Structure 1
């Protein structure tokens, strides 16, 4: 059997990238396309080394593969702490198992030849490798979407939705908020937790000059934002908050210090003053069940 190293290398980059991308979607970890590519590249190089140097037995050990996956995750994502790192690593393994299951299912249904040797999976050349890859990717995307929607639905059913009131200059905005375990955002100046809220949910309590930023979609124009905020009477209450999200590093949210926020859960109310509101100019929920994301530390 002939093995084409260039094709094998390219296939592994594509598959590794998709696995890391799915991991990013589920973990909500900060990353970028470049970092995902570099992580995928490391995994592909490892496979090529296995093929070119079959005599180096240490590369075939379970420990070597665990180290490889740990390295891929470390390269691909912004890691805040060890707990967060191991959570992302666990999601990476689950994503890998889903891809592997989809691949073997396709082989079974399509009666395509293939085998595993030294931890490397081969598909016979006469079968269409690219059809195999595309089918596997589509299967994982569909399965992942179904599972993600089910997980989100269960989270909401488990009463992770609370009532949130934001008070600013004698005005109050009232909305539903989701307790989001992935929201660990803090204001770098004060270290206060940041509550992410949709602009439209806050619009009526914001100063007109701040409203204009979002109505004209200028929230990503740093020079315009800085100019408008610096001239506002509420300059001392507003600030810029850096954040990382999937596909976007070094992003910036416009935030402000409210008079206070009030959280209501199971008819119990809790007031919080040391908090920052981050304004988001898009919808946070497709079904509009919540319009804000809360850090769990605000509830405890």
Structure 2
């Protein structure tokens, strides 16, 4: 009975770790395969508890049974399994030293539950770091030239931004009003600040010598359709000197959806400029 209990504890622990690795690498292994791999990993360790060779054999058997024999399995997936085992095992060791139930079944249940909680927290933090890295990959320095002004703006390329000016099809980028407020001509600020988002803007309220560079941009969001004024820029350089195609900018007053530190959200087409500049390695790195 004692041996069966040890095998059961090891199986539960192995299954939690393999499930964690399966979700992290999106291997889509079946539950049956993960259970079988958990058993293969538990038996050698139970029979030979003090043997390092048995531990190595158990680890290899788990990886091969769960994910197959391939370079990817032996490499990246094995590393993730090892990280999960060290993290969850260390956390459980701390717990079991302080709290141990007299009932063996309760100990197995609580240990399994805690293993899943620990690995869930690890997965959450891991994904947060991955997302942060992805966001930083799409963040670029940029220099906007408009109204005889040159403005340095940290920008973010939003692959979901497909907004275009309806007549020309040119891309529309969104710029924080607060970020560039000091560079906006005073005669443009008044009509911009007095304009209500729900109403269609009247281009006639803007100075005549600016009107030829203005366009009405229809925006479609989850809140519904709205109108904005698009300003044609003279030039926009991003990254290490790549010039973006001609386009328009729309000023936004609500900046809560801007990534931290960004003053502009660029159209998805800006990614092509970065790709052409740096090669496909930039995209692959994301």
TM class, shorter-chain normalised?
Answer: 0.3 to 0.5
Normalized against structure 2, the TM-score is what?
A: 0.46
Mark the structure with the bigger radius of gyration: 2
Q: Which one has the bigger helix percentage?
A: 2
Normalized against structure 1, the TM-score is what?
A: 0.44
